[in-house]
Amino acid sequence: MSKDFILKTSRNDILRITAYGMKNLASSPCLIFVHGFKGFKDWGFWNFTSNYFADKNYFVLSFNFSHNGIGDNPSEFTELDKFANNTISLEIDELNELIENYRSGFFGKTNNKKFGLLGHSRGGAVSILAASENKAVSALTVWASVAKIDRYTERQKNEWREKGYVEILNARTKQLMRLNVTLLDDIENNKDSSLNLEKALNSIKIPFLIVHGEQDVTVPFKEAEQLYEWSDKNNSEIEIIRSAGHTFNIVHPFSGSNEKFDMVLTKTEKFFNINLFKEINDDSRIC
């Protein structure tokens, strides 16, 4: 069973959230799913994945960032003005606010404070950066995650600054989606501090799983290898999905799972089961 929630953030922005497995809330660990760039909570595999883990006795939260471009219509980009003003720092702050609201009982009382993050693509980077700040996170998984926040050439940046924005084509919807210079400012001003993935991973000591498609052309597999190289090898592992792309061969609208995505789910479930359902003798790191 799923239930929709609206959370107003400290900036008076709106997070649209769907909770799955409400019957599991009181005693089970929580999983928070973090979509990527041009992603949203109802894209492709997210509903299927949410129900999958709810059936495995997890309480699951899937949500839209306030500036991802999705408004009241769950599958259409109708808030392109917000999308244009989105930043990675804003997404990190919103994910941390969602975490704190879960832990404080916004969704209902829970006696289990253990939870994990699962982020896809840019959402993987956001999850890593949030986990480095938020010591309450118990386990972390990223699917097809970027290792580079700054993905633009100097020529692209110069043109971006001259115009004040850049436009990108959404291949699925055929929309031109504007990105204002605020995103570029955020990346350049914070790339050595709060948006530094190497620094973040050097500080993370919780269990960390990297899953990546061997044939990902959107985010090459070498970025998964880079994340693993930066991570603590005592707590991290990397899983290669052979002959799989950026979304593990899942499309939108969702038309069913496949052998590759089933492998992703099985590996991820095993990882979270080991690290969230097991007895933890020392909870001192969970505040």
- CA distances, 236 to each of 43, 78, 177, 244 (Å): 28, 39, 36, 21
Domain residue spans of the chain: 2-149+194-277
- As a whole number of angstroms, the distance between CA 2 and CA 8 comes to 20
Residues of the chain with pLDDT under 50: 280-287
- Can you give the pLDDT at residue 285? 35
Query: What would the CATH number be for the domain defined by 2-149+194-277?
Result: 3.40.50.1820
- Can you give the pLDDT at residue 113? 86
- Can you give the pLDDT at residue 279? 52
- Can you give the pLDDT at residue 286? 34
- CA distances, 85 to each of 3, 48, 180, 188 (Å): 29, 30, 6, 15
- Can you give the pLDDT at residue 1? 84
Q: pTM for the full model?
A: 0.96
- Give 183's DSSP letter: H
Number of Cβ atoms within 10 Å of the Cβ of 279: 4
Three-state secondary structure call for residue 143: strand
Residue pair 16/6 in contact by the 8 Å Cβ criterion: yes
- Can you give the pLDDT at residue 287? 28
